[in-house]
Amino acid sequence: MHDFFDDIPARLRRDRSNTPASGRPFVFALVLCLVAGVLIILDRQGVITPIRLLIQQSVTPAALVLTNLRDQAADLVGSPRSAADLRAQVSALEQENSQLKADNLRLQQSQVENASLRQQLQIQREQPWHLLGAEVAVRSSDAGRRVMTIARGTTDGVRAGMAVIGQHPGDPAALVGIIESTGAHTAEVLLITDFSSQVSAHIIHAAQSGLGLVQGQWQQGSRLRLVQVDRNTLIARGDAVVSAGLTGSMRIPLDLAAVPANIPIGSVETVSSSGQEQSAELRPFVDPDQVRYVWVILNQDG
């Protein structure tokens, strides 16, 4: 009996050896192909789709964990290896940020300057004036006077008596004041709304015009007032008022040169009569209190 059992492994080994070794891979490949074909058919029929989705849902969290570990390892390898490296990197980023801020500021300044220059060119195409742009630097805090300081002076060719204009979008460039005093790099501008401001003016009514005097009325609760208009002069609400160019010849207690003619000032709002004269309340085309950038008319014979 012992010999019988001992002989079984020997016979099994002989039986297995009867199958050619070269045929085993072929059989294995054939089985794999059959299994793959069956899986493809089942997948197309939607039989194994739930199983595949379940496997994907099970594997996805693990894949995400492995991806995060890989990214953290990459960050660790690429991060500074010392406190000195970290400080150097922070310093470089701060310098880059400072440079970007400076470049952005210069870009904004250039945009403002370009807009002002385009506006100036447009005004000069419409009027025979030689203009000098200027920023409004300071406004007087004295409630008794309406003046402002501009960042231009005698070194730029600015003189007392020169007209100063401003412009609001949609409105014509209009008179806002007259240079009252100058320094080397700054100048004081007396606004046309100040009570001491007086400018000779023409009232334009249809194809006719009349002469008058524009006075500032801010301290008396108004803006501008047109006075000394002959009673026979035609004047109505909405009529335009422009400079007459006669201010230098008038006996005004200010050191003023002749303001050029035909500078827009404002429009008539109300008209009143007294004796042989008429007067009118005016709305200025440009509110002097609202301008931030102005132009000095350098040529006084325009």
pLDDT digits (tens, 9 = 90+) for 193-245: 999 899 999 999 888 888 999 999 987 777 899 999 999 999 999 999 999 88
Say what the pLDDT of residue 220 is: 78
Q: Is residue 113 part of a domain?
A: no
pLDDT digits (tens, 9 = 90+) for 136-158: 998 877 767 899 999 999 999 99
pTM exceeding the 0.75 threshold for the entire prediction: no
Long-range residue pairs from 97-101, CB within 8 A, at least 24 positions apart, any chain: none
Q: How confident is the model at residue 281 (pLDDT cuts 50, 70, 90)?
A: very high
Q: Is residue 12 part of a domain?
A: no
Q: How many whole angstroms separate alpha carbon 176 and alpha carbon 173? A: 9
Q: Is residue 4 part of a domain?
A: no
- CATH number of the structural domain spanning residue 210: 2.40.10.350
Q: Is residue 181 part of a domain?
A: yes
Q: Is residue 157 part of a domain?
A: yes
Q: Is residue 21 part of a domain?
A: no
Q: How confident is the model at residue 285 (pLDDT cuts 50, 70, 90)?
A: very high
Counting the structural domains of the chain, the total is 1
Q: Is residue 44 part of a domain?
A: no
DSSP 94-151: HHHHHHHHHHHHHHHHHHHHHHHHHHHHHHHHHSS--EEEEEEEEE---TT--EEEES
Q: Is residue 59 part of a domain?
A: no
Say what the pLDDT of residue 83 is: 79
- The CB-side HSE value for 71 (13 A sphere, CA atoms) comes to 6
Residue 212: which domain range?
A: 127-297
Would you say residue 165 has pLDDT above 50?
Answer: yes
Say what the pLDDT of residue 214 is: 94
User: Can you read off the two tokens belonging to residue 112?
Assistant: 């403002």
